Amino acid sequence: MAIIALVAACNGFEGQAQPLAGAQPHANAGTGSFYPMGTTVTLDGSLSFDPDGTIRAYRWAVRERPPGTSAVPDVPDAAIATLTPDDVGTYVLELQVTDDSGYVDTSELRIVSTGAITSVDAGPGAGVAWLATAQLSGSVTNLPGKTATYVWSFVSRPAGSNASLQGSATLTPTFVADATGMYVIALEARFGDETREATVTIEATATGVSLGTGGVAYTYSKVADRIVYVRGTTSAEVVRVDPSTGTQTTLAIGSFTPRSITIDQTHEVIAVGGPGRVARVAVRSNLVLIDSRAVPGCTAAHVTMPSSYRIDCWPVDGDIEPISSVTMSDGVVTMSDGVVTQIDCPVKTPYVTYGPPSWIYMVDGASTQFYVYDASSTPPLQVISSGSLAGHAPPVIAAGTNQPYAVTGNGLAVNPPTMLRYDLATPVSAGVYSALRGELAIASGSQLKIYDGMGSPLKLSAALPTVNGVAPTVKLMAYNDNGFAHRLIIVAGTTAGDVVYTVAR
C-alpha cells in the first residue's frame, strides 16, 4: 500500500489518508443528564467506533454512586443498556470498549437522580421603603435523611444599587434597599449535583413629601421636628413643614428678597437674610416674627446665628462688601473693636458654616485661604486661626462635637486649628453629622454616603431617589437625634420641585 500511494503521488494524484494499523478505538458513553429518581435511563454506547476496524466488546461499570445504593446496568456487556437509580444522587458510569486489535478506550457518563429537594420557596414578594432593611424568608424541604444546602443571590438590582445580602447562606437573609426599584433575589438549594431555584421580587420605594417649587434656602429644627425654609422674590415668606405629613404653615416677614437662612443653637429661632436686611422668626410651636432689621451694605450670601439674638451677615463679594454682626435685641450693628458697625471681609468669595463648640469656618471660593472665627466672642468674630490649605474647597457641612470639623466640597474633613485632614475621596455637595450615632452622612453626586464617624470607613452607599425622573440636587441634610426616633432628613429637588425624605437610621 505504501508503494501504491507513492506512485499515485508521483503521477499527480492525491492519495486518500489511510488509518494506521492498530489505531486506538474511541469510546462514547453518551451525554449525561438529570432524571427523577426511579426513572429507567438508557445507556447508549453505540456511537463508539474503531478507525481501522470494529468494536469487539463493550463493558459498562458503575464507578461512583450514592452510599447504600446497588443499581447496576441491566446488560453490562452490551452497547445499549439501562440503569434504574434506586436513590437520589450522582451516578458515574464508565463505558470500556475493546477493538478487534485488542486496544481499549473508556468514556464516562454522569447521571443525576433527582428528588432529594422536594420544594423551594423564596417567600412572597413585598414592598420596602428606600434605605430600610428588607427581610427575606425562604423554605426548602428535602426527602427524609437528605439535607440540602442553600444560598441566596441577586438576579437583578436597580441602577445604582450596591446592595449585598447579609446571611446569604441562611433561609432568612436581609439587605438594605439602597436604591429605589425592583430587586429580584434567587434562593438556590443544592444536594450534590441536584439544584432547584425559586425567586422573589422586592420593590423599594421612596415616599417623599412634596415641598413644591420656589424654595430658596432650607434649615431644620430638631426641637420642632420641622423643615423650615424661605421663599419669595420681592416678598419673603417663611414656611414650616412637617417632614412626615407635609402639613405646613406660612408667615410673611417683609418686602425683601430672601437669600439665606440659618437656625440658632437652641433650634427655636431662625434667621433669614437678604440684601440689606435680616429677620428673626420663632419656629418651635408656630411661626412668629420676632424682629427685622436693616443692615446697610450687606448682601447676606450666608447668615450665621451664634446666639438667638445675634446674626452675622456674610457678603457675596468680600472685596467690596463688609461682614456685619447684628445685635437683634436693639438693632445695633457692631464690629470686633466695638466702635464701628462693620468689618472688612478678608476674602473675595466667602463660604461659611457654623458648628460646635462655638466657631464659624470660612474659606475663599477664589483661593485656598481659610479663617476660623470665634462665634461667641466679644467683640464678635474674633479670628481663632487662619491659613492656606492647598486644594481646599468651600465647606458644605459643619460637624464634630468637641473639635471643629468642616467637610469641604472636595471631600476633605478638616480640623482647621490642628490642620488634621481626612480625605473622603469623593466630592461633597451637602452633609450632616450625628453626634449621637457618630455618623457622617454626605451627598456625593447622585449618591448618599454614610461613614462611621469622621474619616472612618464607608458603611453605606445608596442611590438618591430621582425627583420626577430627574437626578436631584440635595439642598439640606439633617439628623433628628433630639428625643425623636433617630432619623435622617433629606431635602432634594430639581426644577420640577423639591421633596423631603425621612429615613429611619
Handedness of CA 81, 82, 87, 88 (dihedral sign): positive
Closest C-alpha to 267, from 222, 218, 332: 222
Whether residue 4 has pLDDT greater than 50: no
pLDDT, position 13: 32
Q: 117-205: what CATH class?
A: mainly beta
**DSSP track, 102-167:** S-EEEEEEEEEEE-SEEEEE----EEEETTSEEE---EEEE-TT---EEEEEEEE--TT-----BS
Whether residue 414 has pLDDT greater than 80: no
Q: How far apart are the first and last CA of the chain?
A: 88
Within this chain, domains 24-114 and 117-205 share the same CATH topology: yes
pTM of the full structure: 0.76
Collect contacts of 327-333 with beta carbons under 8 A, ≥24 apart: 328/278, 328/280, 328/290, 328/291, 328/293, 331/291, 331/293, 333/295
Higher-scoring residue by pLDDT: 412, 95? 95
Domain layout of the chain by residue ranges: 24-114, 117-205
pLDDT, position 392: 59
Q: What share of the chain is helix, strand, coil (3-state, %, to 5)?
A: 0, 50, 45
pLDDT digits (tens, 9 = 90+) for 254-292: 999 999 999 988 899 999 999 989 999 999 999 999 989
Q: What is the CATH T-level fold of the domain 24-114, as seen in this structure?
A: Immunoglobulin-like (2.60.40)
Q: Residue 144 has which C-alpha cell?
A: 427524609
Q: What percent of the chain has pLDDT over 90?
A: 52
pLDDT, position 374: 86
Task: Find the mean pLDDT for residues 407-420.
Answer: 69
Whether residue 465 has pLDDT greater than 60: yes
- The pair phi, psi for residue 190, each rounded to 5°, is -140, 135
Rg (C-alpha) for the chain, rounded Å, is 38
pLDDT digits (tens, 9 = 90+) for 92-123: 999 999 999 999 999 999 999 999 999 999 99
Q: Residue 4 has which C-alpha cell?
A: 501504491
pLDDT digits (tens, 9 = 90+) for 359-370: 788 877 777 788
**DSSP track, 180-235:** SEEEEEEEEEEETTEEEEEEEEEEEE---EEEES-EEEEEEETTTTEEEEEE-SSS
